[in-house]
Amino acid sequence: MLDATLETRLRDLLDRDAIRQVLNRMARGLDRVDNALVLSCYWPEAIDDHTHYVGPPEGFVQYADGMTLSFESCLHGLMTHNCEITGDDAHCETYFTFMAEAAQPPHFMATGRYVDHFQKRGGEWRILNRFTVVDGTYDLQPTQSTAARSSPYAPGERQVARDKSDLSYQRPLRVRAPKS
């Protein structure tokens, strides 16, 4: 039997982990254009205030797909995460970096923060409201050292996709054969 203080602390840690997992699922869903995964992060009545889009999650997914699919590949990196939990409500701020590879340089990067109101219902945390703060946008040029290098992948060898054929969904993970 846990004492009350330890049980309260354990619940707090489990709640924080569950919220962080929602943020990670959201980033993966956006990068892999896995719309069902993205939508699973929001409550149905949620509002996402995401720069040029303000509205419900279904509209945000369409907006995000338009942005994501205009690039060859992209990734969301999540960094500093602050979270205040009061009962079944949590207010969080999570720093992000978004990087996207264009077909031709310049590539794109944005930095900012997600400011979220999470709510826990039936034991599950999801986003009720989100405000995205973009602190900076940047054009990126390839470095001289990478521009001169050839690709490490033979044709058809790079298993990166914007759907569930991406290697991150493979079970078990299949790696390339060692090269001699």
Is domain 4-169 classified as CATH 3.10.450.50? yes
Looking at the whole model, is its pTM more than 0.85? yes
Q: How far is 136 from 53, CA to CA, in rounded Å?
A: 17
> In terms of residues, how long is the chain?
180
For the cut 80, the answer to whether the pLDDT of residue 2 exceeds it is no
Over residues 172-177, mean pLDDT = 82
At residue 122, the pLDDT reads 98
Which pLDDT band, with edges at 50, 70 and 90, does 1 fall under? Answer: low
Q: Which residues contact 26 (CB under 8 A, 6 or more apart)?
A: 37, 38, 41, 76, 127
| CA triple 58-131-20, angle to 5 deg | 85
pLDDT tens-digit readout, 19-78: 999 999 999 999 999 999 999 999 999 999 999 999 999 999 999 999 999 999 999 999
- Where exactly are the structural domains of the chain? 4-169
The β-bridge partners of 107 are 140
My answer on whether omega of the bond before 106 falls inside 30° of 0, hence cis, is yes
